[in-house]
Structure 1
Amino acid sequence: MSRSNDERWRSHFPMRERQGVSPSLLDRREAIAELGDALRDLVEQAAATEAPADQLRQVTANVRRATRPLTTHQRERARLPSADDLLDGVRMYNPVTGAGSGLAPPLRIDLVDGVAIGTCTLGLAFEGPPTYAHGGVSALLLDQLLGYVVSATGRAGMTIRLDTRYHAPIPLRTPLQMTGRVTAVNGRKSTAHGVITTVAQPGELLVEATGAFVAPRPDQSRRLFGAALHRSAADPVAE
């Protein structure tokens, strides 16, 4: 399935019609995604390597040198990344879906007939029990997937509960598939259910979760996110 860049970068369903993206912003997002890909490769290779101590220290020195230029262009905690667009669902550094995140697998999500379908592969950096993914990562993936499908209903909310059931461990370096759908809506509260399987064996359930999400009231949104949500769209950093 082909994906446009804006779909590839989305962490939640857009809350408005797609907006035009300037060439400079598009180029910066591409550069962020390229750096994110390199960081993920570094993390995976570091988790898998059996290199001797002297080589590890040489790599450490190289990484620290490469990091220095980034420290001169830092945003404050209360500011959104200039490459993000909340209303269009773009969060470049989301730790689950973000193309620019060195932490993300990353999870890719599509919406088909109201069902969120996610795919990813977890590398050795996500290991918990030997050769299997850490259980907390499963919950992280499902929380993101369910939040995405809830946001597609126009009732984007924050997680207030996530009940997770583990049927079998999730194998590493194995293509995974997730599906999630909204099962109930009651005012500002939405409930969704999702599962994780492997792509090769979609009938064998590994993990499932039911999540409850509540859309914050306007006053709650202002209190929690006010500084970030009111960043000027004309901020020159965004260009």
Structure 2
Amino acid sequence: MQPSDLMPQPHDDLERRRAAALDLAEALRQANSAAVSTEATVEQLERAALIVRDATAALGQSVRPLTRVSEFDGFPSSSRFFSPVSGPGSPLSPPLSIRATAEGVEANRSFDRRFEGPPGLLHGGISALLFDELMGVAVLQAGHWAMTGQLSLDYRRALPLDTDLTMTVAVTSVEGRKIRVGGSIVVSSEPDTVFVTATALFIKPRESTLERYFGQMV
């Protein structure tokens, strides 16, 4: 066997690393969910903390610069790999799978105790996070590169955890650099009962702003 035979192909290696990163993210989601639900003993908690610190030390040996796009990313043709909302590689994300509709975008998801506010209920700030992500995708899908200028939510009812929710968003108007977006969240089994609504104003940045914030991407 020649030394070159031992060298991995770049594309194959990246796919294997991406698969491993997805597996790691899912394991961490399960660990995080267990951590916020546990009634473990002191000994069990201390042992788990040691294991987590060992894993963190191993992962921290190779860290990308803050301003560099991850090698795992397929952006802009797909969502950010480590997005805290839709990124499959982020242990912070639900993750949310967003799909296009005739009107805009839509997503379905249940949320576990990682996202709890009042006992058994979704934290209100998570609703804002979800809308910001979905609205950004809807704006991009409509052919506009824009940033959130204003986001307003109307909380009508508390959203339950461990229950399938449906989130829908659509662009409602475009006036020059201003893009207005609206959306709602319902419990999937009660589609006619609106739990949360949101409206937002997105602004198309000037070229200098695009370059400053998103130079690598645009």
The answer as to whether partners of 1:114 and 1:149 remain within 8 angstroms in 2 is: no
Which protein is bigger by CA-based radius of gyration? 2
Q: What CA deviation, in whole Å up to 9, does each residue of 1:110-154 have, x standing for no partner?
A: 002132111111111111112111110011111111111111011
Alignment-derived partner of residue 17 in structure 2: 28
The answer as to whether partners of 1:159 and 1:213 remain within 8 angstroms in 2 is: yes
Q: What CA deviation, in whole Å up to 9, does each residue of 1:2-41 have, x standing for no partner?
A: xxxxxxxxxxxxxxxxxxx944433332222111111111
Q: Pick from 76, 84, 90: which aligns with 2:73?
A: 84
The answer as to whether partners of 2:76 and 2:217 remain within 8 angstroms in 1 is: no
Alignment-derived partner of residue 129 in structure 1: 118
What is the Cα deviation at residue 42 of structure 1? Answer: 0.6
Distance 2:217 2:189 in 1: 42
Q: Which amino acid aligns with 2:160?
A: P
Q: What CA deviation, in whole Å up to 9, does each residue of 1:193-230 have, x standing for no partner?
A: 1101111111111111011111212211112233x448
Distance 1:29 1:187, change over 3 A: farther
Matching of residue 100 in structure 1 with residue 89 in structure 2? yes
Alignment-derived partner of residue 152 in structure 1: 141
Instruction: Give aligned pairs, total.
Output: 209
What is the Cα deviation at residue 85 of structure 1? Answer: 2.8
Distance 1:159 1:118 in 2: 20
Q: Pick from 154, 170, 180: which aligns with 2:169?
A: 180
What is the TM-score when the length of structure 2 is the normalising length? 0.90
Q: Secondary structure at the match of 2:182?
A: strand
Structure 1 segments unaligned to the other structure (5+ residues): 1-20, 231-239
Q: Which amino acid aligns with 1:152?
A: Q
Q: Which amino acid aligns with 1:77?
A: L
The answer as to whether partners of 1:189 and 1:212 remain within 8 angstroms in 2 is: yes
Distance 1:223 1:26 in 2: 31
Q: Which has the higher contact order (CA 8 A, sep 6+)?
A: 1
Q: Pick from 129, 146, 168: which aligns with 1:140?
A: 129
Q: Pick from 19, 25, 40: which aligns with 1:51?
A: 40
The answer as to whether partners of 2:167 and 2:183 remain within 8 angstroms in 1 is: yes
Structure 2 segments unaligned to the other structure (5+ residues): 1-9
Matching of residue 115 in structure 1 with residue 86 in structure 2? no
Calculate percent identity across the aligned residue pairs. 37
